[in-house]
Amino acid sequence: MTTNHEVYLLLGSNISSRIGYMNSAKELIEKEVGEIRTCSSLYESEPWGFNAEKMFMNQVLHVETSLSALDLLEKTQQIEKLLGRTRKSEGSYTSRTIDIDILFFDEAVFSLPGLKIPHAEMQNRRFTLMPLAEIAPDLNHPVLKRNCLQLLEECKDSGKVWKIQSTQLHEV
């Protein structure tokens, strides 16, 4: 019998066409990872940790998958590569066609080389917490023992994050 896992993924893109890359990533996630149960609204945010000309677009997905955490990481990295993502040296941030971060995997806690779940920086990033709290406000962080709405309220990140209204989706 296959075990299904509840995972939350953060999509991010700041290279045009951002909406095209986001949609392609969602199609590939549905095909290669599992059923997308819920999507947050789209959010636009300032780059975090580096300067870039174009703002980021972000969205959180709630996905049901039968993949293990390591297989999920492998699949999301394959999708990123397929959509033109190039990896830079560890610790440096750059513009990207698509970025897929694993935020939560069930209530599990992993600390492996290249895979930290829950995502190690999520509580420090408003662009992650706003869409996450939109679709899963009561979801508890298994390490910090706070729900997503509490993490958002406590977040010290002052970066600007805007919810995109459907009337604003012309280029995006």
What tens digit of pLDDT does each residue of 24-51 get? 999 999 999 999 999 999 999 988 766 7
CA 40, CA 57: separation in Å to the nearest integer?
12
Q: Which residues, 6 or more positions from 88, have their beta carbon under 8 angstroms from its beta carbon? A: 94
CA 27, CA 67: separation in Å to the nearest integer?
17
pLDDT exceeds cutoff 90 at 131: yes
| Domains identified in the chain, total number | 1
Task: Determine the structural domain holding residue 25 and report its residue range.
Answer: 5-168
Q: What CATH number is attached to the domain comprising 107?
A: 3.30.70.560
Residues annotated as catalytic are: 85, 96, 99, 101
Q: What is the mean pLDDT of the chain?
A: 91
Token digits of residue 170 = 């012309």
Q: Which residues, 6 or more positions from 99, have their beta carbon under 8 angstroms from its beta carbon? A: 10, 11, 12, 13, 80, 85
CA 86, CA 114: separation in Å to the nearest integer?
16
The lowest-confidence range among 37-46, 87-96, 97-106, 150-159 is: 87-96
Q: What is the pLDDT of residues 137-155, one digit of tens each?
A: 999 999 999 999 999 999 9
pLDDT exceeds cutoff 60 at 18: yes
CA 59, CA 43: separation in Å to the nearest integer?
6
Choose from 84-93, 106-115, 148-157 the range with maximum mean pLDDT: 148-157
Token digits of residue 142 = 């298994």
First to last CA, the chain: 42
Give residue 95's pLDDT: 76
Confidence tier at 89 by pLDDT (50, 70, 90): very low
pLDDT exceeds cutoff 90 at 106: yes
